[in-house]
């Protein structure tokens, strides 16, 4: 398939919390992962979840090395992960975040500076990645997508916590 259209809020696919776990032996896994990689490469973002491109399955890609700010590029490089879960977090902090599916806005949310994400990494098996900083934020954001949540759902007050992006 290749590059797929990124679904935009309020598309109801983005609010599904029943995205299916992927069986690593499923023959469609390779295509889902290729679609994620191709679409991320064609986008300005650093991470993407399968539901954002119309696949109702639990798969993500995170690559903070794409970020335009050098200080945010530290991490594990390009990670494709199936069935990820956040198993630990620490050091909550407020941060302004955006989303490829909500391109006109950013919002203030609470994230964690450290996170451990566990899932199946093709070619490596089940892995637990210890992430910090911007990479930890990216993993938290993408796992939220798999659970049907957008950063808009976390912003406590639209009036004080959502901001229109500069055009």
Residue 142 has pLDDT above 90, yes or no: yes
Q: Can you give the pLDDT at residue 68?
A: 86
Which of 55, 153, 157, 30 is closest to 102 using CA atoms?
153
Q: Can you give the pLDDT at residue 1?
A: 58
For domain 12-164, which CATH number applies: 3.40.50.1820, 1.20.1250.20, 3.90.45.10, 3.40.50.1370?
3.90.45.10
The domain segmentation of the chain, as residue ranges, is 12-164
Q: What does the pLDDT average to over 90-98? A: 95
**C-alpha 164, offset from chain centre:** 21
Q: Can you give the pLDDT at residue 156?
A: 62
The dihedral of CA 46, 119, 87, 150: what is its sign? Answer: positive
DSSP 8-state class, residue 1: -
- Please say if 104 is a catalytic residue: no
Q: What is the pTM of this model?
A: 0.94
24-41 core/surface letters (b: 16 or more CB in 10 A; e: else): eeeeebeebbebbbebbe
Residue 164 has pLDDT above 80, yes or no: no
**Tokens 């983005």 sit on residue:** 14
What's the pLDDT band for 154 if we cut at 50, 70, 90?
A: confident
What's the pLDDT band for 155 if we cut at 50, 70, 90?
A: confident
Q: Can you give the pLDDT at residue 35?
A: 98
Q: 97 is written with which tokens?
A: 């975040």
Query: Is residue 48 a contact partner of residue 79, using CB atoms and an 8 Å limit?
Result: no
Report pLDDT digits (tens) over 98-135: 999 999 999 999 999 999 999 999 999 999 999 999 99
CA distance 128 to 99: 25
- The per-residue DSSP string of 16-78 comes to -S-PBPPPTT-TTHHHHHHHHHHHHHTSS-SEEEGGGGT--BSEEEE-GGG-SSGGG--SSSS
Report pLDDT digits (tens) over 24-71: 999 999 999 999 999 999 999 999 999 999 999 999 999 999 988 988
Alpha-carbon radius of gyration of the chain: 15
Q: Can you give the pLDDT at residue 146?
A: 98
User: Higher-confidence residue: 160 or 40?
Assistant: 40
């Amino acid at each position: 398939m290749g590059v797929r259209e990124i679904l935009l809020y309020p598309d109801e696919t983005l609010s599904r919390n029943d995205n299916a776990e992927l069986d690593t032996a499923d023959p469609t896994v390779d295509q889902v992962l290729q679609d994620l990689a191709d679409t991320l490469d064609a986008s300005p973002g650093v991470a993407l979840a399968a539901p954002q491109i119309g696949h109702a399955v639990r798969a993500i890609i995170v690559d903070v090395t794409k970020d335009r700010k050098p200080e945010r590029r530290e991490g594990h490089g390009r990670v494709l992960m199936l069935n990820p879960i956040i198993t630990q977090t620490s050091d909550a902090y407020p941060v302004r975040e955006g989303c490829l599916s909500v391109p006109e806005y950013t919002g203030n949310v609470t994230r964690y500076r450290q996170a451990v994400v566990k899932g199946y990494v093709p070619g490596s098996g089940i892995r637990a990645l210890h992430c910090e900083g911007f990479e930890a934020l990216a993993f938290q954001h993408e796992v939220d997508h798999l659970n049907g949540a957008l950063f808009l759902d976390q912003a406590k007050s639209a009036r004080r916590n959502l901001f229109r992006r500069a055009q």
